[in-house]
Structure 1
Amino acid sequence: MNKPQILVVEDDVAVGNLIATTLETQNYQFHRAKTGAGAVLDAVSYRPDVMLLDLGLPDIDGVDIIRKVRSWSNMPIIVISARNEDSDKVLALDAGADDYLTKPFSVDELLARLRVALRRVRYDSGKVDAQSSVYENGELKIDYAAGCVYRGGQEIHLTPIEYKLLCLLCKNTGKVLTHNYILNEVWGSPTLSDTPSLRVFMATLRKKIEPDPSHPQYIQTHIGVGYRMIRQQGEDL
């Protein structure tokens, strides 16, 4: 199997060197860019599996880079930024970023987020032909053709809204979905519902699919930002 290709977009030399050293210790292949223009060019020519992107670049704002890349590529983009406000995270995620890590960050957390992104790459590439009518994640199973959901082999009865929420999360496994994105996709517009209502639906969904809703293992909350479906450990991707 070819080694994963990582594009590191970071103009801070010290941070860039830290990331590079971290990737080297894990035997990842990587390429470095220090400007937004260079990042876009490298994304086209280098065709990386994952992009690690700083938002505060000297020539182009990182959010604009996300939008440019998203116009032609679905590669995972993990933002690594000193911007730590929820509004900054939401802006980047709504633009198409898959994950958001704030500086200063731990090396272990960076590697964990990277592994999640790479699992998604392998899963997506392995399912291209099937675009499968069946989704499986741990004990959770969705038969899209039949519109049925199972946990541990037993069918779970969901409301139409709960089913749409679950399908949206599952089809974006490993990716943080913002409140606004979910509201747009499920209700058509945030004005048709609101975040408190979304929390209620998520709570009822968790009660049905989680073995222990007080300690969820499938649907992870990103406070102030949104939700993510977690790929269960041990899945054969």
Structure 2
Amino acid sequence: MDVNAHVRRLWRHRGTTVPAPRRGPRQQLDLDEILLTGISLADADGLAAVSTRAIAARLGRSAMALYPYVGSKEELLALMQDHASAMPAWADPGGSLTADLQAWSVALYEVYLAHPWLAGRPWSQATQGPHEQDWLERLLRIFDGWQVPPRSRPSAVTMLYATVRATAETTAAYRRMTREGATVWREQAAATREQIPDLADRYPLSTGLEPLTPDWQQNPRAALTGAVDLLAAALEAG
């Protein structure tokens, strides 16, 4: 892996220059176009559908023609990950820490829903690219503006990212669930109650837990909102 070349590709719109192919005509392909093609494949069919061969086929090129532009397969995925993570424009409400954290969390949640494969990329594979850095910097500015104690910030960052990723991943899974799959889930729940008639006695708290919303598909988003409210309240309490 040529680390310097990879960093230059990641930060190409923030002051670096993309390495040019060493042989042949210069810059026959556009890196952004390559990445958008890969993102389109991943959005439709998951990361398993992404390969230099598949991207090249859509661009009318050979797989070998892409290597000088993206590097290895893992470098390609990292470039796609950062490119797909571009932060949309939004204004922090500014009325409270809770409102600002809700705005940040929902914005990131929507990005993960638009590109469900992002939440499946391990944290150990953070790109260290500009778009991912934008999210963290925006979050820390919110903490700074509301004077969240520095000692609380690392844990709060982890809790927010983990909650957004988990709820977005669950929402995406619910969206992929077919009507047949939902029916099987309900049938199994009913069969469990029938086969274990004292289930409520064994597990009174978990069986008595009320859903956040009547629509089960909306529960992950409602859970995100509730979790952010709880965290903001804890941070405000010091």
TM range (shorter): under 0.3
Relative contact order, higher structure (CA 8 A, sep 6+): 2
- Larger Rg, first or second structure (1 or 2): 2
Structure with the higher fraction of residues in helix conformation: 2
Q: Please report the TM-score for the alignment, with normalisation by the length of structure 1.
A: 0.28
Structure with the higher fraction of residues in strand conformation: 1
